[in-house]
Amino acid sequence: MQKIIENLTAQKQRHIDELFEFLRIPSISDLEEYKDDCKKAALWLMNNIKTAGFDNARLYETAGHPIVYAEWLNAGNDKPTVLVYGHYDVQPVDPLGLWYSEPFEPVIKDGKMWGRGTSDDKGQLFMHVKALEEIMKVDGKLPVNVKIIIEGEEEAGSSHLDEFIENNAELLSCDYVLISDTDWVDVGLPSICYSLRGLTFAEVKITGPNSDLHSGSYGGSLDNPANVLCSMIAKMRDEYGRVTIPGFYDDVLDLDADERAGFARIPFSEEEYCKLLGIKATNGEFGYTSIERSWARPTLDINGMTSGFQGKGSKTIIPAWASAKISMRLVPYQDSDDIAKKVEEYLKKLAPPTVTVEVEILHGGNPVMVKRDGKGIQAASQALKNVFNMEPIFMREGGSIPVVGVFQSVLKADSILLGMGVPGNNIHAPNENYPLENFYEGIKVSAHFFYELAK
Amino acid sequence: MQKIIENLTAQKQRHIDELFEFLRIPSISDLEEYKDDCKKAALWLMNNIKTAGFDNARLYETAGHPIVYAEWLNAGNDKPTVLVYGHYDVQPVDPLGLWYSEPFEPVIKDGKMWGRGTSDDKGQLFMHVKALEEIMKVDGKLPVNVKIIIEGEEEAGSSHLDEFIENNAELLSCDYVLISDTDWVDVGLPSICYSLRGLTFAEVKITGPNSDLHSGSYGGSLDNPANVLCSMIAKMRDEYGRVTIPGFYDDVLDLDADERAGFARIPFSEEEYCKLLGIKATNGEFGYTSIERSWARPTLDINGMTSGFQGKGSKTIIPAWASAKISMRLVPYQDSDDIAKKVEEYLKKLAPPTVTVEVEILHGGNPVMVKRDGKGIQAASQALKNVFNMEPIFMREGGSIPVVGVFQSVLKADSILLGMGVPGNNIHAPNENYPLENFYEGIKVSAHFFYELAK
């Protein structure tokens, strides 16, 4: 290991030079005019991975942008197989005027590299490629079997990756998926994410009269769909911030004492948080902290609401209908389909007999939980400890990473979320950046991880 | 009176001919390209009124369309003064393809006259002009003092009439205002309207975070403005359909036993009503019938609601803000300004301390109540009885006629709503019509009214 670390240090400049070459390709997946650049980025990466010593490096064409694949499977059957996942595509760069330097001409300044893709996700996925390359150079082999899959549509509306995974389950079969596409809880606090929330997204529409009615002539004699909808939504949570859908909490895994103690140690200022969001105070489910509420408790939020006259001024109508988009964030081991059924039933029960209620489930995804005492997470934890000389933070994420759910359901493989980004990296915004230290140390963490896992 | 009625019968054809000439002028007030036609209609009407024997017939120019004015004040100081109000402007005629005959080429068919303005309001205001003309011809004088004011902007967005009334209170001073611009409760049921509901129209905006937030990263840790708004609105009415704003019912005049008995005798089918509106069932304040709820009880209705993502599909945000337009129909003797103050206070009290609440009062108007035993109403009632040989129905209206409130507040004069329209007249729609009988008999009712009032 000593040798590898020495080698990595010696190669720092080359690693950065190569990454910058990669970053200069404007592989914006969601804009048609960058289609060729996406292909170019895929080819460049495939060649770089091939040069690193991988076998079967190739592009798989999809209806969208190609998927880069490669493998090295000579560690033996007794060694685990790790699937490294990442994406070579990047977000658009508008508004261009807010960038301090060219988005596709990366620069180094103030200890960070600046440019589109530095953090999300070219910079992070490249750490693993370089770690694996140096291990092969020094050892002539890898301590575990490794497959690499890098997609080009993570930032585009509709990815073809799910379909590819389903159709190529054997090719991709593995014991662990390694993903570096998330953030530490804060700068200087190496973190491992072991749980993501899931989602059930519904739309409800309440219809009353067959057209908007004059509120003078008819007001008072019939139920108003907008008032009805408000009453229904108000009933979906109680005064303790708990969701009232029957059976909603049946499968919720309670936070254990260890987790709560761990979260409590994370530096977190309610005051700073409120200032950041521009709110007067936090509020949520009774008995939980803000971190627990946003990482580990299920929610029910209105995402949008529409009814009647929305222009300037007054129009005295009783609207014919009212609708709301209602989404629930789910936690392990709630099931998205089960919650969809329950919310639909509940909305139909809440609607009075005077109106028509329609419920549509628009979207869903299951929550993810990787056991903290599992071998993969423990190897990642040890790798971080080896490099940073401190206990990493075990964190959760309030959002979802849909592909993690697909890896779980199709490949039956846990994902290790070993992200090295930090808050302030401005992903999806102008002036995206990534600390140089996190890149260099991240390569070491990656190398340590593969060795730890092989132990 | 016998002589007058004989004369009216003899002049039927001329009355229709003159009205049709008036109807052929396309005086659409809300469309710029008909500005000259509005002026033409005003001039035509002024001349017709002058020919009828009125003094001081003239046009008052406004920033919009002119106001027609005339007077005959020789009945003596011991006789009451009646201000006849109407409007010579009409609604647009789109969609033209749905008309069975030309909107501005009136025709007679199936016992009705068809064309724009036949019912709203040229046909109705003209009844009074012709009645007064024949009285003058036969008697050489009128039994009461009469002023006529016919505006040209009733169907346009912003009328200049209120300002004109306020600036000319002495010119318009009177004991009663006579208005024929409303409907009977049904065909064959002569009706007098003695009360209109008022209005307070508010907009409330709830603001939470300083921008839309990712519902995954933040959901659960802060109050969602859309959920908050729904909870607030839900609390504004109780489970008996009563408005919960403190003091809301303080000034509400209870329905008296006579009124309720009268309303109960009006032919009304819940089944037909539901079919007409396309609803499954009526619903409203506990303890009242549908007629009572829409005519004589105050309401609280959402007229529009806006928050967050309203497009197709799903967007997982916590909206930064949510807003609703909330209007209350008021009944005698609620005061629009008083209710505005109360609703604003209540909304501010209902809003939790985690959000910002803004309330704007957009519009208001006081309810109207004319005493059923007053001399004006009794004269109108007797006039209907004389012509139709049956007791008229004393009805209320759920909507507002703003000018009635202005006449009340500025001129301190009660309005007699002696409308002769019927449901099915298609005002504001294609194929507007007016029963010939209501026109001819309406002229007689008008003549009787002036004599009854003079008694």
pLDDT above 70: percentage of residues in chain A: 100
Nearest chain B Cα distance for residue A307, angstroms: 5
- Cα separation, B268 vs B263, in Å, equals 9
pLDDT (mean) for B124-131: 98
- Cα separation, B170 vs B155, in Å, equals 26
pLDDT of residue B157: 64
The number of C-alpha atoms within 13 Å of B297 and in the hemisphere containing its C-beta is 23
Cβ of B219 within 8 Å of Cβ of A301? The answer is yes
Tokens of B181: 């611009």
Alpha helices in B24-168 (DSSP H): 35-51, 122-139, 161-167
pLDDT tens-digit series, residues B28-76? 998 999 999 999 999 999 999 999 999 999 999 999 999 999 999 999 9
Pairing of strands A81-87, A176-179: parallel
Alpha helices in A180-224 (DSSP H): 215-218
Chain B residues close to A404, C-beta within 8 Å: none
Cβ of B282 within 8 Å of Cβ of A222? The answer is yes
Nearest chain B Cα distance for residue A314, angstroms: 7
Helices A436-454/A2-10 angle, 10° precision:
150
A363 pLDDT more than 90: no
A398 pLDDT more than 70: yes
pLDDT of residue A315: 87
Please state, in angstroms and as integers, the Cα–Cα distance from residue B195 to each residue in A26, A51, B415, B417, B452, following that order: 71, 89, 10, 9, 22
Chain B residues close to A327, C-beta within 8 Å: 215, 219, 314, 316
A394 pLDDT more than 70: yes
Instruction: Give the DSSP H/E element, type plus range, for residue B150.
Output: strand B145-151
Nearest chain B Cα distance for residue A59, angstroms: 32
pLDDT of residue B21: 98
CA angle A143-A145-A148, nearest 5°?
A: 120
ipTM value, please give it.
0.90
Cβ of B284 within 8 Å of Cβ of A222? The answer is yes
A157 pLDDT more than 80: no
DSSP for A406-420, written as a single string: HIIIII--EEEE---
CB pairs A-B closer than 8 Å: 270
> How crowded is residue A358: how many other Cβ atoms within 10 Å of its Cβ?
15
Helices A436-454/A122-139 angle, 10° precision:
50
> At a CB cut-off of 8 Å and minimum separation 6, what does A144 contact?
A75, A79, A80, A81, A82, A450, A453, A454
Contacts 24+ apart (CB under 8 A), B11-16: B11/B130, B11/B134, B12/B440, B15/B126, B15/B130, B15/B439, B15/B440, B15/B443, B16/B108, B16/B113, B16/B436, B16/B439
pLDDT of residue A382: 98
pLDDT tens-digit series, residues A49-62? 999 999 999 999 99
pLDDT (mean) for A318-323: 97
Chain A residues close to B217, C-beta within 8 Å: 294, 397-399
User: Which residue, chain included where needed, has tokens 């008083």?
Assistant: B338
Tokens of A211: 């057209």
Chain B residues close to A233, C-beta within 8 Å: 227, 230-231, 234
Burial label, A294 (beta-carbon count in 10 A; 0-12, 13-18, 19+) = buried
Nearest chain A Cα distance for residue B200, angstroms: 10
- Cα separation, A434 vs A420, in Å, equals 9
Chain B residues close to A290, C-beta within 8 Å: 221
Of A278, A293, A317, the CB nearest to B303: A317
DSSP B391: P
Positive or negative, the CA dihedral B242, B247, B248, B251 is positive
**Nearest to residue A148, comparing CAs of A55, A61, A44, A35?**
A55
CA angle A38-A41-A47, nearest 5°?
A: 140
pLDDT of residue B106: 98
Residue B401 banded pLDDT, cuts 50, 70, 90: confident
Q: Is A371 in contact with A176 (CB distance < 8 Å)?
A: no
pLDDT tens-digit series, residues B309-349? 999 888 889 999 999 999 999 999 999 999 999 999 999 99
Chain A residues close to B252, C-beta within 8 Å: none
CA angle B220-B222-B227, nearest 5°?
A: 85
Burial label, B433 (beta-carbon count in 10 A; 0-12, 13-18, 19+) = buried
Largest CA distance in chain A: 86
Strand partners, A177: A83, A415
Cβ of B398 within 8 Å of Cβ of A218? The answer is yes
pLDDT (mean) for A285-303: 98
Task: Return the residue of A nearest to B309 by Cα.
Answer: A304
Of A277, A297, A309, the CB nearest to B304: A309
Residue B418 banded pLDDT, cuts 50, 70, 90: very high
> At a CB cut-off of 8 Å and minimum separation 6, what does A31 contact?
A92
Of B216, B283, B355, the CB nearest to A354: B283
- Cα separation, A13 vs B146, in Å, equals 100
- Cα separation, B212 vs B374, in Å, equals 59
Alpha helices in A267-331 (DSSP H): 270-277, 290-295
**Nearest to residue A56, comparing CAs of A66, A65, A68, A43?**
A68
| Most A-contacting residue of B238, B301, B331, B336 (CB-CB within 10 A), to test interface | B301
| Most A-contacting residue of B203, B230, B327 (CB-CB within 10 A), to test interface | B230
pLDDT above 90: percentage of residues in chain A: 94
pLDDT tens-digit series, residues B144-163? 999 999 999 998 866 799 99
Please state, in angstroms and as integers, the Cα–Cα distance from residue B333 to each residue in B89, B196, B298, B366, following that order: 32, 11, 11, 8
pLDDT tens-digit series, residues A111-127? 999 999 999 999 999 99
Chain B residues close to A293, C-beta within 8 Å: 220-221
CA angle A19-A20-A23, nearest 5°?
A: 90
Cβ of B279 within 8 Å of Cβ of A397? The answer is no
Strand partners, A304: A325, B308
pLDDT (mean) for A139-167: 92
Please state, in angstroms and as integers, the Cα–Cα distance from residue B26 to each residue in B41, B67, B105, B120, following that order: 8, 17, 10, 13
Chain B residues close to A281, C-beta within 8 Å: 353-354
pLDDT of residue A158: 61
When the pLDDT of each residue in chain A is averaged and rounded to a whole number, the result is 96
pLDDT of residue B296: 98
Instruction: Give the DSSP H/E element, type plus range, for residue A72.
Output: strand A67-72
Helices B2-10/B122-139 angle, 10° precision:
120
- Cα separation, B293 vs B268, in Å, equals 13
Q: Is B280 in contact with B294 (CB distance < 8 Å)?
A: no
pLDDT tens-digit series, residues B186-237? 999 999 999 999 999 999 999 999 999 999 999 999 999 999 999 999 999 9
Q: Is B339 in contact with B219 (CB distance < 8 Å)?
A: no
pLDDT tens-digit series, residues B159-172? 799 999 999 999 99
Task: Return the residue of A nearest to B243 by Cα.
Answer: A220
Nearest chain A Cα distance for residue B60, angstroms: 30
When the pLDDT of each residue in chain B is averaged and rounded to a whole number, the result is 96
pLDDT of residue B314: 86
Cβ of A354 within 8 Å of Cβ of B227? The answer is no
- Cα separation, B305 vs A305, in Å, equals 7
DSSP B255: P
3-state secondary structure of B305: strand
pLDDT of residue B1: 85
pLDDT tens-digit series, residues B234-288? 999 999 999 999 999 999 999 999 999 999 999 999 999 999 999 999 999 999 9
Please state, in angstroms and as integers, the Cα–Cα distance from residue B374 to each residue in A79, A429, B80, B296, B379, following that order: 101, 72, 13, 19, 9
Nearest chain A Cα distance for residue B398, angstroms: 5
> At a CB cut-off of 8 Å and minimum separation 6, what does B274 contact?
B280, B281, B282
- Cα separation, A74 vs A378, in Å, equals 24
Of B220, B231, B354, the CB nearest to A234: B231
Point out the least confidently predicted range of A193-197, B114-118, B405-409. Answer: B405-409
DSSP for A237-280, written as a single string: B-TTS-B-STTTTTTPPPPPHHHHHHHHHS---HHHHHHHHT-S
Chain A residues close to B286, C-beta within 8 Å: none
Chain A residues close to B322, C-beta within 8 Å: 302, 305
Strand partners, B213: B318
Chain B residues close to A317, C-beta within 8 Å: 303-304
**Exposure class string for A188-207: b at 16+ Cβ within 10 A, else e:** eebbbbbbbbbbbbbbbbbb
| Most B-contacting residue of A232, A314, A327, A363 (CB-CB within 10 A), to test interface | A314
Positive or negative, the CA dihedral A138, A141, A147, A152 is positive
User: Which residue, chain included where needed, has tokens 């309207």?
Assistant: B193
- Cα separation, A194 vs A396, in Å, equals 6
